[in-house]
Structure 1
Amino acid sequence: MIRVLLVDDQHLIRAGLRMLCDAAPDLDVVGEADNGRDAVSLAARLRPDVVVMDLRMPGVDGITATSRILADRPTTRVLVLTTFGDDDHLYPALTAGACGFLLKDAPPTDLLDGIRRAAAGDSPFSQEVLRRLVHRAVRARADAPEPVDGLTAREQAVLELVAEGLSNAEIGERLHIGVTTVKTHITSLMTKTGSPNRVRLALFARGV
């Protein structure tokens, strides 16, 4: 069962998200917060697997709350769900440690899939956001760093597929290896590249 904490300052949004999650047999909404300060407190007390985080909230905003939650519990997965998909919100959220970024107009099935992927260690993104990340990466390619020394051929192959946005399961299928092995390679890659999370690893691979 995936333990979920919902954070949004709009009651109707939270109610809709709770109804959606309650209908899924593998998701358990363990709490709700309407501001970042309460989100940090509840995350410490309830220990959710995934925090679905809004960004614009009164008082402590979602970016600050994300940073504080992950400083206390680095294994928590914070999935941003917001109306604002611009770079002024996207990159600060990623820098704070968010593992994914979905827009509120995403289909309900995408949101449920995003929560599951986040819990599994993947990085779910709305297609619009992912396209912008790739576009920025392509523009920055000319300034890409030199390849990291010490990567095995398998790690290099995994790194390239992470950059393409593939999930762990998809990488495993492509390379004919198990998901556990993929996770081991990704952990090693994050250590070798100094990437704090999978998103930053993907951006590193694309030279951002």
Structure 2
Amino acid sequence: MKDINLMPEEAKAAPAPKARNLKKGSIPVKAVVIAVAALVFVLGSILSPKIYVKALESHTAALQAEVESDKYTEVKNINQQIAAIQSNISGKKEVIDSITANPLLTTDIINFAQQSVPKGVTIDSLQCGDKSLSISGVAKDSTAVAEYISNLTRINAFADYTSKAAFSYDKANVKLAFKIELSQTNQGV
């Protein structure tokens, strides 16, 4: 065993641990490793989106070249035909919509005009236009034609129509030829 009294002298005699010898201007290895790792991370985060975009652009160019190849010409022709058919259908839909928007159907107008005919009046022709109706026929006298016009104007369907009548009299047959034109004055109900 050692003498306890001698310890302090031994401790005094033993050399003290040396402090690290750092030269001024030298960089520790840890700092270099951290700096390199940070540089790699920053460069990676900057360059990786650019590399990804370049890869997508090359993929897009390859797909574009594939689509423009000859094997897709039939698909292009069919797409053009479909577009032509759709434009044709849209034109027909417009006609159907305009007919649907018309509150009074042509057949209803013709039925109203025929049901209003009094005795002694014969209708020869009935023409229905967009906003007009032309009726021509033969009557036994002008009173029957006046009654017919009165019957037409009593019907709610012709409430917003104005009437104009023309007569011609044939003495040999004792018949009165007439032509009544009804025209719509405004957009009715």
TM-score, normalised with respect to structure 2: 0.21
Task: Give the structure with the larger strand fraction.
Answer: 2
Larger RCO: Structure 1 or Structure 2 (Cα < 8 Å, ≥ 6 residues apart)? 1
TM-score, normalised with respect to structure 1: 0.20
